């Protein structure tokens, strides 16, 4: 399995804990549709760029996006979004390498501007958090 897939799987596993903690109702991986159950988080692969290479290994920088979806009143949109953002941050930043020996660093890249819409009592919001994960893989076989 490609090391990028192992990273995405680990992030998904860590964020699925948020369901049991009652922070979100759904965590999705590699889906582009809006979740059925809100609040939710979607884990999506971004760009994967090589940074350094020698004869045996490649150091790469993988971007992983964690999209937050909420539905609530207009007054609570920021509060709910930021509470989930905090929980996601804590789950991912608890150790510098996600518990994976080939990961050298995880760096938060910030939050995009929220996309809020709705009327009346119900408002929906979507916000993207991006993370840069630096990792090392083999030149010949990126699963090594």
Look up the domain containing 106 and give its range.
Answer: 3-138
Query: Residue 26 domain-assigned?
Result: yes
pLDDT digits (tens, 9 = 90+) for 34-84: 888 899 999 999 999 999 989 999 999 999 999 999 999 888 999 999 999
Total domain count for the chain? Answer: 1
Query: Residue 20 domain-assigned?
Result: yes
Average pLDDT over residues 106-128: 92
Comparison of pLDDT for 44 and 121, the residue scoring more? 44
Is the model's pLDDT at 100 over the cut of 80? yes
> What confidence score (pLDDT) does residue 120 get?
76
Whole-model pTM? 0.93
> What confidence score (pLDDT) does residue 60 get?
97
> What confidence score (pLDDT) does residue 75 get?
86
Beta bridge partners, 128, equal 67
CA torsion through residues 93, 29, 85, 21, sign: negative
Query: Residue 96 domain-assigned?
Result: yes
> What confidence score (pLDDT) does residue 81 get?
96
Structural contact between residues 64 and 93, judged by C-beta atoms closer than 8 angstroms: no
* CATH code for the domain in which residue 27 is found: 3.30.2000.30
111: enclosing H helix or E strand: strand 103-111
Query: Residue 144 domain-assigned?
Result: no
Query: Residue 59 domain-assigned?
Result: yes
């Amino acid at each position: 399995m490609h090391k990028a897939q192992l990273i995405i799987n680990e992030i998904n596993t860590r964020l699925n804990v948020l369901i049991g903690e009652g922070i979100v109702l759904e965590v999705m991986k590699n889906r582009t549709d809006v979740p059925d159950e809100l609040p939710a988080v979607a884990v999506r692969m971004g760009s994967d760029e090589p940074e350094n290479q020698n004869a045996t290994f490649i150091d790469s920088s993988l971007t992983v996006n964690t999209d937050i979806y909420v539905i609530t009143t207009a007054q609570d949109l920021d509060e709910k979004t930021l509470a989930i953002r905090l929980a996601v941050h804590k789950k991912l930043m608890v150790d510098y390498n996600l518990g994976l020996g080939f990961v050298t660093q995880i760096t938060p890249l910030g939050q995009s501007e929220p996309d809020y819409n709705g009327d009346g009592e119900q408002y929906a919001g979507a916000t993207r958090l991006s993370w840069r994960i630096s990792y090392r893989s083999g030149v010949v076989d990126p699963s090594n």
